[in-house]
Structure 1
Amino acid sequence: MEKLTFVIPTLLGVEGLTANELRRMNMEGVRVENGRVFCQGGPQDIARLNLQLRTGERVLILLGTFPAQTFEDLFQGTRALPWDNFIPKDGAFPVKGFSLNSALHSIPACQSIVKKAVATRLGQVYHQETLPENGALYQIQFSIMKDVASLMLDTSGAGLYKRGYRAVGVAAPLRETLAAAMVLLSGYRGRDPFCDPFCGSGTIAIEAALIAKNRAPGLNRTFAAQKWAWLPSQVWVDGAGEAMDLEFDGDYDIWGGDIDPSAVRIAQDNAVKADVEDLVHFEVADARSFSRQEPYGRIVTNPPYGERLMEKQEAEELYRDFGRATEGLPSGWRINLLSSHTEFERTFGRTADKKRKLYNGMIKCDLFQYDVKRGKKGRISG
């Protein structure tokens, strides 16, 4: 098989991190667009990417791209692609996708045209008028942007943020891929003490443990392409072996606290499911009285926004109290807080040293990054 082109969708603001991951994996032709990253590789990389990527949302194979201003364009362009190289005669091939700034804006109509075009090609190749679709899943995705259609196959199945460890969550959970991005943006690599004072179901601390250990986040789950007939099962064995060979051993100081005892119990259970319970310590704690004495460390946290879980005024009081608590930290600490609150810096008590735009689902947020520095009165100062 010739080289495959992969499309890795990402959360907005995370594309550069995903591109760096791909380069570290020695993928070729890494290219970044808004909300997605492209690269090239072989069939074995289907396993490697799905198992190892921390910040990508899923792994898609790009079958082709072509202009599509009419339904006839979409039908003929889709039918011309080599679907029979990937989908067997019993393969199930549902279709989903989206259209932006294009003449073809009806998603159901586009789904129907793509489905008919693929069925037409497969029916001709397999000499069948009706395809049974009772075999493995070959999810087709399309995107039509500015009248250019891209047709893809989804190798992942469930999104890559579904690591398999969070069977039970708490309200307003943070997506695992975003948690990993926050940890990476903080610069944490396992050497410093690491704290999440608003840990909720433990996602940030667990992702920090996976990063510290260099443990592949996909080892505890399955993927759609594992059932694909043309992809040898050995690539998954080899991919898992490579991932496990990359793991580190070490002692890490990773802590998560939450004022809600039930959230802490869930976080502890999730750490067990992620096989990092020996690396992370969770306890019931009030972030408003947070303190640490170590000379350096990192805080990465996602406090309530005041949009769903708390009223805005309550959230502001919490930010203010937590800001005061961090005034007592030694000057080697770095603080990273994700919030959608437009007045966060004012209520926290200091302008961030850096800000990074990220999206938590559809909520536009900023990652506020602070280097703790001691002022004359002990307050955090610029």
Structure 2
Amino acid sequence: MRRTRLHKQIRRQLLEKKQEFFVICPPGFEKECEKEIQTLFPDTGPMKAEKGGILLQAPLSFAPEANRRLRTASRILMRMARFTATDFKGFQKNLAEIPWQLYFPEGPLPEIRVLCHKCRLYHSDALAQRIRDFLSSKKDRESGAPCIQEKPLPGLYLRGEKDRFTLSVDSSGPLLYLRGLKTAGSRAPIRENLAAAILMASGYTPEIPLADPMCGSGTFSMEAALMASNLAPGSFRSFAWENWPAFLVAPFAREEEPTQHLLPAPIHASDVEEKVLTDFRALCLQHSFLENIQIQKADFFSLDAPRGEAGLIMLNPPYGLRMGTKKAAGILNRRLADHLQKKWQGWRTGILVPGEQKIPQEFSRLTCRRFQHGGLAMQLFTGKTEDMHLHTP
């Protein structure tokens, strides 16, 4: 292949030195994301956990592999530039110093997202328009790599903090919780990457059974099956990094990892709604790694723990408008604790509860993790079923 000026720039500025990445994850689960990065990418340099993500330095190849393999990540950004600007003239001068052809392909302009805090240049729409005008006027954009139309386009992220600006290019495209598997959802869906983080925080490993008795569209069961099958969660979708010039001029060759079709431990999924179970069964029939999930229609309070080794029971009970009054929520918490202690002894549990509720007395001996889910404050209670506190009449 003929080496062009673009090849040389990519090699010198991107391939021969480490890049700075920011891995965005669900706020409250930075610990799980950091541990996952350390496990999957042990050669990655020092990491810094920030609210909502992990900052790190890694080779350019981190972008394709991390997007495909990380289960807890929401989006992965790579830093392009940092500069200080207090007026639009200075802002545009800094834009002119960035080698844009290294980060974006020819053709459509990237989607631009701006967030500013305590900056003299505070108007996000005006900043975004300055960038669009600048990119539209650049003649040398046409000397870059042509984009692949059917692949997601990389977006551009600008963040300003006290007149200090950071420009980043997106490597993910659609948010990473979109695994490319589901076509139907339930009334209260948990995002897939959040479900993976919750399972990790609750103590799930593929070697132990999982019970998902309020499974809805089956997100917890599906994520557990992905883990147990050693299947990368991004195996079924495309990413924005596939339209990065570096990978357009030198396609990235990934190594396929062996998958495991038989689950090392059973996954039991159930719900009271036939419609969501029908959709989940149909999804399981489309993918071999889901075929061994055991699905049944049942009310949780009619279920005993499966025979054999104790594992993790994951509970996402109704809340908010589905639950009704606080009194009804309190009654449900008491019923859950009572049933878990009587019928699920020896099991670990993860229970989701709205954040506006006070810590239920029944769960006061469990570990509480606070987080956000779709703008709603939530609490995750984890521990052993025997640690639950029951009211005495």
**Does the alignment reach a TM-score above 0.5?**
yes
Mean Cα deviation higher: 275-284 or 338-347: 338-347
State which of 68, 77, 85 in structure 1 corresponds to 2:94: 77
1:340-359 → structure 2 map (5 Å cutoff): 340-343=354-357, 345-346=359-360, 349-359=362-372
1:54-133 → structure 2 map (5 Å cutoff): 54-120=71-137, 122-123=138-139, 126=142
Question: Aligned residue for 1:40?
Answer: 57
- What whole-Å deviation, never above 9, does each CA across 1:124-150 have from its counterpart, x for those lacking one? 56589xxx9996723211122333211
Query: What's the secondary structure of 2:352's corresponding residue?
Result: strand
Letter in 2 for 1:8: V
Distance 2:200 2:253 in 1: 27
Mean Cα deviation higher: 54-63 or 40-49: 40-49
Task: State the 1:247 CA deviation.
Answer: 5.4
- What whole-Å deviation, never above 9, does each CA across 1:309-362 have from its counterpart, x for those lacking one? 331344433333222211214542111112215446437x23142111121121
Question: Aligned residue for 1:170?
Answer: 186
Does residue 328 of structure 1 match 2:347? no
Letter in 1 for 2:349: I
Whether contact under 8 Å (2:32, 2:72) holds in the other structure is yes
Question: Aligned residue for 2:300?
Answer: 287
Distance 2:148 2:260 in 1: 39
Distance 1:125 1:251 in 2: 51
RMSD across aligned C-alpha pairs, in angstroms? 2.9
Letter in 2 for 1:146: K
Q: Count residues in correspondence.
A: 370
Whether contact under 8 Å (1:341, 1:365) holds in the other structure is yes
Whether contact under 8 Å (2:261, 2:289) holds in the other structure is no
Give the alignment's TM-score, normalised by structure 1.
0.86
Whether contact under 8 Å (1:22, 1:30) holds in the other structure is no
Query: What's the secondary structure of 1:158's corresponding residue?
Result: coil
Query: What's the secondary structure of 1:187's corresponding residue?
Result: coil
Whether contact under 8 Å (2:172, 2:241) holds in the other structure is yes
Letter in 2 for 1:87: F
Distance 1:214 1:123 in 2: 46
State which of 214, 217, 222 in structure 1 corresponds to 2:238: 222
Distance 2:312 2:386 in 1: 14
Letter in 2 for 1:346: P
Whether contact under 8 Å (1:301, 1:338) holds in the other structure is yes
Query: What's the secondary structure of 1:337's corresponding residue?
Result: strand
Question: Aligned residue for 2:29?
Answer: 14
Structure 1 spans left out of the alignment, 5+ residues: none
Distance 1:272 1:61 in 2: 37
Percent same amino acid among aligned pairs?
24
Mean Cα deviation higher: 328-337 or 66-75: 66-75
Query: What's the secondary structure of 1:311's corresponding residue?
Result: coil
Question: Aligned residue for 1:265?
Answer: 278
Whether contact under 8 Å (1:84, 1:125) holds in the other structure is yes
Query: What's the secondary structure of 2:339's corresponding residue?
Result: helix
Whether contact under 8 Å (2:63, 2:76) holds in the other structure is yes
Give the alignment's TM-score, normalised by structure 2.
0.84
Letter in 2 for 1:335: T
